[in-house]
Structures are given as C-alpha cells and as structure tokens.
Amino acid sequence: MNRLLFSVLLALGLLFSASHALRFDLQSGHTKCIAEDIKSNSMTVGKYSIVNPSEGHPLPESHKLTVRVTSSYGNSYHSAEKVESGQFAFTTGEAGDYMACFWAPDHKPEATLTVEFEWKSGVAARDWSKVAKKNQVEAMEFELKQLQETISSIHEEMFYLRERSLYNRTQASNQDGIVYEPYGVRITSNQDGI
C-alpha cells in the first residue's frame, strides 16, 4: 500500500521537475521566437518576465517587451505590448507549431534584456496541486485498502476452493478403491486357485 502511494507521489514529483524555465537574452530592437509543437485540444500555459538587472530597483524604462503567441495557421492566442511580465493560457484549436515571439523596442544606447520564459502544454500544464489534496489522497488510500481486502478475500476463497476440490478428488479416488477392491481380491483368489 505504502509502496503504491510512494510510486504515485514519485511519478508526480518527476512530472513537476520535468518543466524548467528558459532564460535568454534579447537585444533592444531585435526579436526572438520560440516554437512548440502542440497537439490539438491541449491545454497550454506560459509565463514570462524580464529579469531585473539591478535587484531592489525598479526596471529601467528601456526594459519593456512586446509579446505575441500565434499558431502556424496565423491565429493569435496572446498579445501584450510594452510589458515587463505576463502570462497566457489557452486550449489549442489545431495541432501544429505555436510560436511565442518577443520584441524589444529599439533603444539608444542598446540594452540587453534577460527574459525568463516558461511554457507548458498537455499534462505538464495541468495544475496538479489542485488534483491531489491530502483528504483526497486519504480517500484514495481508504479505497485502495478496501480493494486490497477484497483481493485478499478472493485469494483466500480461491485457496479454499482449490483445497476442497483436491479433498473431493481424493475422496472420490478412495471410494473407487473401496468399490473395486472386492473385485481385485476375487481376481487374485481365482488366479491362486489355478
């Protein structure tokens, strides 16, 4: 029981650790696009932000982004202009490449923006923290214990039926021996008399 629960929690932990944020540098006046091949009807979530080069101070005015997320068919799913951070979530309408493009406005002197971007789709996009709350896990544990007891009961019943079947076969063989024993004695007696 504990092994099954441990396996489920380990699998969920591995699922969560599989998604990492991507960091990249973007020069002002330039564009960077990131594409993701996503199947149809998949949940997709993303978040992005400019990393502050001097912590404790507000971002400089030159550190703004324009972000657009589109499908390979040209459908726009997210658009934001002159922002420091943002997020998007949508369910894909068609399968194919989805592209997130980041533009940094032209600025003199040229500035370099460090952008942190996380994009998840499918199972990774699901918020698993809401799926398995402690009381739900305890309820699942109770259900699993009930199933384990049922399986044990069925297992014991199978052993009982097997033993009973073996006993019945042994009794039937013994009965056959008793029925045929007098004939064996007569045949033996007749052979001795010859």
Lowest-pLDDT range, 82-91, 123-132, 158-167, 181-190? 181-190
Considering the domain architecture, whether residues 101 and 82 belong to the same structural domain is answered as yes
Final residue in a domain of this structure, among 126, 158, 178: 126
* 29 dihedral zone (left: phi>0; alpha: psi -120 to 50; beta): left
The reply to whether 22 falls in a domain is yes
Considering the domain architecture, whether residues 176 and 98 belong to the same structural domain is answered as no
pLDDT of residue 53: 79
Between 95 and 6, where is the model more confident?
Answer: 95
CATH number at residue 82: 2.60.120.380
Question: Residue 73: is its pLDDT beyond 70?
Answer: yes
The reply to whether 11 falls in a domain is no
Which tens digits make up the pLDDT trace of 32-45? 999 999 988 888 99
**Does the pTM exceed 0.75?**
no
Considering the domain architecture, whether residues 112 and 147 belong to the same structural domain is answered as no
Considering the domain architecture, whether residues 173 and 100 belong to the same structural domain is answered as no
The share of the chain scoring above pLDDT 70, in percent, equals 75
The reply to whether 2 falls in a domain is no
Cα 194 from chain centroid (whole Å) = 85
Q: How many domains does the chain have?
A: 2
Report how far residue 138's alpha carbon sits from residue 157's, in angstroms, rounded to the nearest whole number. Answer: 29
Helix axes 2-17, 134-193, angle to 10 degrees: 130
What is the residue range of 111's domain?
18-126
Considering the domain architecture, whether residues 89 and 137 belong to the same structural domain is answered as no
Which tens digits make up the pLDDT trace of 133-192? 667 778 888 888 888 988 988 888 898 889 888 888 888 777 766 666 665 556 555 555
pLDDT of residue 23: 94
99, β-bridge pairs: 35, 70
Residue 23 three-state SS: strand
Considering the domain architecture, whether residues 40 and 110 belong to the same structural domain is answered as yes
Residue of 110, 97, 101 lying closest to 81 (CA atoms): 101
At residue 14 the predicted structure's pLDDT band, cuts being 50, 70 and 90, is: very low
Final residue in a domain of this structure, among 77, 104, 126: 126
At residue 108 the predicted structure's pLDDT band, cuts being 50, 70 and 90, is: confident
At residue 17 the predicted structure's pLDDT band, cuts being 50, 70 and 90, is: very low
Final residue in a domain of this structure, among 76, 104, 126: 126
Between 140 and 128, where is the model more confident?
Answer: 140
Average pLDDT over residues 79-105: 93
